[in-house]
Structure 1
Amino acid sequence: MGEEEHVLLIRDFFSDQRRFQYIKTLSGGASGYCVCFREVFTEGLSRRFVVKCPNDDEDDVVAGIRNEIQSLHALQHAEHIVDVLTISDNPLEPDRQGQGGLHIPFIILEYVENGTLELFIQRIGGAILPNRFLWRLFLCMVRACVAMAYPPAQGRKEETVASAQPSALVHWDMHNRNFMFGAILGNYQEHLLVPILKLIDFDISAMKTSEEVVNVEVKEKFDDELELDRYRTIGQSSVATCINLLDVGQASHLNEINGKGVSPPTSKSFANLSRQ
Structure 2
Amino acid sequence: MSDPFNSPPRGGRGGRGQSTPPPAGRRRGGGRTPGDNGGGRSSPDPFGPGPRLPPPTNPFVGPATRSGWSSSSSEGRSGSRDGRRRRGPFRRGGLFGAHAPAAEDDPFGGPSVTSGAERRRSLQRAIDVFRNDYRFTVEKATVTTNGVQLRVIEAPGGGHVPRRFVAKASFPEVARAVAMERDWMHRLRFARHIVRWLTLTPDPMAPGPGNVGFNLPYFFMEYLENGTLRQFEERVQNVTRLALPDGSEIAFLLPNRLLWTIFLCLIRACVGMAWPPEGPDAVLEAPTESEPSTFAHMDLHNENVMFGDLEESEAEHRTVPIVKLIDLGEANERPAGESSVPPDPSAVDTYDNVLLLANYRPNTGRRNQGIDRNLLDIGVLMASLISKRTAFVVTCRRNMMDPSIHPFLDADLRLLIQRCLAVDPENRPRLEELTELVGRDDSPFFRGESYYKRDQGFAATGVVNPAEVLETDEVLRFIIQACILNADPNTSSRI
**Fold agreement, TM-score > 0.5:** yes
Give the 3-state SS of the residue equivalent to 2:172 in structure 1. Answer: coil
From 224, 231, 235, the equivalent of 1:119 is: 231
Query: Structure 1, residues 199-252: CA drift from partner, whole Å, max 9, x if none?
Result: 011011111124227684598476666554533445632221011010111122
Long gaps (5+) in structure 1: none
Q: Which residue of 2 aligns with 1:256?
A: 387
Identify the match of residue 83 of structure 1 among 191, 196, 201: 196
In 1: Cα distance, 2:139 partner to 2:338 partner: 45
Alpha-carbon separation, structure 1, partners of 2:154 and 2:259 = 34
Structure 2 residue identity aligned to 1:85: L
RMSD between superposed Cα atoms in Å: 3.0
| 1:128-172, Cα deviation, whole Å (9 max, x unpaired) | 2211011111111111000000111221120111x2111010110
Describe the SS at the equivalent of 1:274: coil
Shifted more, 213-222 versus 198-207: the winner is 213-222
Partner in structure 2 of residue 17 of structure 1: 133
Q: What corresponds to 1:275 in structure 2? A: 430
> For each residue in 1:27-70, what CA deviation from the matched residue of structure 2 results, as whole angstroms up to 9, or x when unmatched?
76x5243111010122572111111122x432xx2222111111
TM-score (norm 2): 0.50
Which residue is 2:272 aligned to?
147
| 1:93 lines up with 2:193 in the alignment | no
Please tell me whether the aligned partners of residues 170 and 243 of structure 1 are also in contact (alpha carbons under 8 angstroms).
yes
Q: Quick one: higher RCO (CA 8 Å, sep 6+), 1 or 2?
A: 2
Structure-1-length-normalised TM-score: 0.85
Whether 1:7 and 2:123 are equivalent positions in the alignment is: yes
Of residues 154, 163, 172, the one that matches 2:298 is 172
Instruction: Calculate percent identity across the aligned residue pairs.
Output: 32
CA distance in structure 2 between the partners assigned to 1:23 and 1:172 by the alignment: 31
Which deviates further from its counterpart, 122-131 or 181-190?
A: 122-131
SS at match of 1:212: coil
Return 5+ residue gaps in structure 2 as ranges: 1-116, 240-252, 390-403, 421-427, 432-495
Specify the alignment match of 1:52 in structure 2: 168
Distance 1:175 1:185, change over 3 A: same
Evaluate the alpha carbon distance shift between residue 3 and residue 140 of structure 1 in structure 2; reply closer, same or farther with a 3 A threshold. Answer: farther
Identify the residue that residue 478 of structure 2 maps to in structure 1. Answer: none
2:286 — aligned with what? 159
Residues 175 and 8 of structure 1: CA distance in aligned 2, closer, same or farther (over 3 Å):
same
Residues 338 and 368, structure 2, Cα contact 8 Å, conserved in 1: no
Asked if 1:102 is matched to 2:214, the reply is yes
Retained in 2: the 8 A contact 1:228–1:274? no
Give the whole-Å Cα distance in 1 for the aligned partners of 2:217 and 2:351. 39
Distance 1:131 1:240 in 2: 28
Between the two proteins, the alignment pairs up a number of residues equal to: 270
> What secondary structure does 1:134 align onto?
helix
Alignment of 1:176-215 (within 5 A): 176-208=302-334, 209-212=336-339
Equivalent pair of 1:227/1:267 in contact (CA under 8 Å): no
- Aligned-pair CA distance for 1:183: 0.8
Q: Rg bigger for which structure?
A: 2
